[in-house]
Amino acid sequence: MTGLTQSYVHGASDVPLLGETVGALLERIAAAHGDRLALVVRQQGVRWTYRELLGEADRFAAGLLALGVRRGDRVGIWSPNNAEWVVTQFATARIGAILVNINPAYRTNELEYCLNKVGCSVLIFAERFKTSDYVAMVRELAPETGTTGDELRAARLPHLRRLVTIGDGAPPPGMIAFAAVAGMGAGRMGEVVALGPTLQFDDPINIQFTSGTTGRPKGATLSHHNIVNNGFFIGECMRLGPDDRLCIPVPLYHCFGMVLGNLACVTHAAAMVFPGEAFEPRAVLETVAEERCTALHGVPTMFIAELDHPDFGHFDLSSLRTGIMAGSPCPIEVMKRAIGQMNLREITIAYGMTETSPVSFQSHVDTPLDLRVSTVGTIMPHVEVKIVDSEGRIVPPGTPGELLTRGYCVMLGYWDDAEKTRDAIDEGRWMHTGDLATLDERGYCRIVGRIKDMIIRGGENVYPREIEEFLYSHPKVQDVQVIGVPDPRYGEEVCAWVRLRDGETMTADELRAFCQGRIAHYKIPRHVRFVDAFPMTVTGKIQKYLMRDQMAADLTAPP
């Protein structure tokens, strides 16, 4: 991968692609490494071997069959990190049901849209998490719960039939406890095993919602082949093995957790270790020290919080070796501190998008430090990349252009949205990332900008158009433009410029209160400016870059 004459690279490999489903993978690893530690969930006291994890997954899979779930049916999960999430991931795969990841920060508006867009027949959800009352939100959308017999019949959620709750104690009326589902499958374990050989690795197995510039989230549909192989080659880059223990504080609803975390581990018989339901820096440090974790994942803000924790020096992190820092640009000083103070001498950088399962570029454990922080590494095995200009022509090395990727990792498409799929994946099966990038002569990639107006807030992708369309529903709002502005903690924060209707008044707090409980917390504008007009070109196009520049100057100006 040296001496490139054009910005096109094919990620060759001596290791072939895996040709198996997620369920077959777990069965194979459990047969070969049954007594090895597979899963640790500290807040629940769970410590399962691979044999035990397979058993838990198969019992729950049998219960799903008893509930009427069949191959290709969509099963939603709306929960923070816990053992039930992991069990559901593998149980649905064992019977060919499609797991639908729902962000636990979503509220009623987003939940309703996602469930109906893909036609979820079952929703598995936590009863509560922090200030979120999931049961109350479900009842708001489906007041018929508990009144329509064994199966739900709700006007606003016409496809949904079963509600399964994750929690202690008896479930609310009309809902089924997660623990009870496994008991419902008694006598159906043989069906689970028999289904395995009938499933194909090209079948869809996972839907992950990713927001878009058109406002509504799109359901990126991934196959077994997509995520099994991406997890495997991610683990290869990290040199994972059966003796490794990976601490996973990133969310499971995102590819970072379920692919870079869970599937990277399972493909290499390593242990998945969860420090808590959601990120808390002290819990991560305790977990690494007490479980002797060898690897740690996180976005840069997570590593900063861990390094800056007042008790950081009290924890023995000498067991650490590798991991992944991804989700947003990795500051060189943070990387140096992670290597020097956390012993992460082989930490890697990864880049990708949900639509590519997700990783297309990753640095290696021996990539020089300057390249680990100034680039996103080199192309993954069995993946192609090219950098093209606005006419679709490949550009010379070092020249910025749009980054396109192709290969096993490219999604099947957006669920029930052929038009947006065609917009993203061209006739040659190239995925158009919307990112501006360069490739140097050695094949190292630098992301230099974004064609799409995406905001990356602490590793979360936030798309302005989605927030704008929601804010337009406020009766006082005439026009609104959302931009990302620099933030020392999260990298970027959400900023809204708002034009009010004639005669109306509003405060920033009033606008934020309108958002509370209706859109995810990370999408709520941190900064609000009320304006009479937006900077425009002579042809009437809004110049968001001028808005960003002005806000950046104002936010850094001395008081």
Q: How many CA atoms does the CB half-sphere of 370 hold within 13 Å?
A: 0
12-41: b or e for each residue (b if 16 or more CB lie within 10 Å)?
eeeeebbebbbbbbbbebbeebbebbbbbb
The answer on pLDDT for 357 being more than 90 is yes
Give which of 170, 89, 163 is closest to 125, Cα–Cα.
163
The answer on pLDDT for 166 being more than 50 is yes
The answer on pLDDT for 388 being more than 70 is yes
Contacts of 347 (CB under 8 A, 6+ apart): 296, 322, 323, 324, 325, 335, 338, 339, 365, 372
Q: What's the pLDDT at 150?
A: 85
Q: What's the pLDDT at 215?
A: 57
Give which of 212, 104, 123, 229 is closest to 175, Cα–Cα.
123
CA–CA separation, 252 and 85 (whole Å)? 8
Tokens standing for residue 325: 């820092």
Q: What is the mean pLDDT of the chain?
A: 93
The answer on pLDDT for 537 being more than 80 is no
H or E segment at 122? strand 120-126
Confidence of residue 538 (pLDDT cuts 50, 70, 90): very low
Confidence of residue 2 (pLDDT cuts 50, 70, 90): low
The answer on pLDDT for 157 being more than 70 is yes
User: pTM for the whole thing?
Assistant: 0.86
Percent pLDDT > 90 in the chain is: 81
Q: Are strands 322-325 and 74-78 parallel, antiparallel or unpaired?
A: unpaired
φ and ψ at residue 130, rounded to 5 degrees: 55, -120
CA–CA separation, 226 and 211 (whole Å)? 20
Contacts of 410 (CB under 8 A, 6+ apart): 226, 355, 356, 357, 425, 429, 431
Q: What's the pLDDT at 284?
A: 98
pLDDT in tens, 45-59: 999 999 999 999 999
CA–CA separation, 461 and 491 (whole Å)? 12
Confidence of residue 459 (pLDDT cuts 50, 70, 90): confident
Give which of 361, 328, 303 is closest to 456, Cα–Cα.
328
Q: What's the pLDDT at 109?
A: 92
CA–CA separation, 502 and 75 (whole Å)? 46
pLDDT in tens, 61-120: 999 999 999 999 999 999 999 999 999 999 999 999 999 999 998 999 999 999 999 999
Q: What's the pLDDT at 539?
A: 44
Phi/psi region, residue 25 (left: phi>0; alpha: psi -120 to 50; beta: rest), is alpha
pLDDT in tens, 245-300: 999 999 999 999 999 999 999 999 999 999 999 999 999 999 999 999 999 999 88
Q: What's the pLDDT at 390?
A: 84
CB-based burial label for 121 (10 Å; 0-12, 13-18, 19+): buried
Phi/psi region, residue 9 (left: phi>0; alpha: psi -120 to 50; beta: rest), is beta
CA–CA separation, 125 and 428 (whole Å)? 39
pLDDT in tens, 474-532: 999 988 989 999 998 999 999 999 999 889 999 999 999 999 999 999 999 999 999 99
Tokens standing for residue 555: 């936010």
Q: What's the pLDDT at 363?
A: 96
Determine the average pLDDT of the residues in 294-309.
93
CA–CA separation, 540 and 537 (whole Å)? 5
Give which of 33, 27, 54, 87 is closest to 242, Cα–Cα.
33
pLDDT in tens, 207-239: 999 864 345 789 999 999 999 999 999 999 999
Q: How many CA atoms does the CB half-sphere of 360 hold within 13 Å?
A: 29
Answer yes or no: are the C-beta atoms of 531 and 542 closer than 8 Å: no
H or E segment at 191? helix 189-195
Task: Catalogue all structural domains in the chain, each as residue range(s) with its CATH number.
Answer: 50-219 (3.40.50.980), 455-556 (3.30.300.30)
Scanning the structure block, which residue is given the tokens 């079963």? 162
For residue 501, give the DSSP letter. Answer: P
Q: What's the pLDDT at 212?
A: 45
CA–CA separation, 364 and 341 (whole Å)? 20
